[in-house]
A = this chain, B = another copy of it.
Amino acid sequence: MQPLLLKDASHMVDSALAHGRALGCHPLTVAVLDAGGHLLALKREDDSGILRPRIAQAKAWGALGMGAGSRGLAARAADAPAFFQSLTTISDGRIAPVPGGVLIRDSEGHVIGAVGISGDHPDRDEACAVHAIESAGHVADAG
């Protein structure tokens, strides 16, 4: 398993932002975390709200934390609200059960990191994350 490199993480951030501009998204914040949940690269567009860096990271971190994209976590949260409420505290606020946090898998299926995006509708945030991961030659797992 090859760890995610800054070169690839930077490419994903820029690719996600370019896709957001092409789709006419609201100002986005894009975070790429490594497999350990630690920030590799982040960019916040002009006029993207001041909480967006934390939300973007929480979408990605929560995906890594539970081993499933944040769309899947949103579905589980609807079924088990009390458990997901406890998870927000268990994780110190590093989980966000809403689409836009997508696992990065290598060609063998290993999780090597995650992309989290916040700023537009969750479905569009997620579309930008998937686009970025695939443009870097990896497999996107949105949950």
Contact = CB atoms under 8 A, between A and B. Distances in A.
Contacts of A64: 49-51
Contacts of A50: 36-38, 64-65
A53 interface: yes
Contacts of A137: none
B3 A51 contact: no
A107 interface: no
B43 A91 contact: no
B51 A95 contact: yes
A27 B82 CA distance: 23
Given A44-B40, A53-B38, A86 B92 contact: no
Contacts of A86: 58, 84, 88, 93, 95-98
Interface in A45-59: 45-55, 58
Contacts of A55: 87, 90
Interface of A: 1-3, 5-6, 9-10, 26-27, 34-55, 58, 62, 64-68, 74, 77-78, 80-98, 110-111
20 contacts: A6-B43, A27-B67, A36-B36, A39-B42, A40-B44, A41-B43, A47-B111, A48-B67, A49-B64, A49-B66, A51-B64, A82-B97, A85-B85, A85-B88, A88-B89, A89-B89, A89-B93, A90-B93, A90-B94, A90-B96
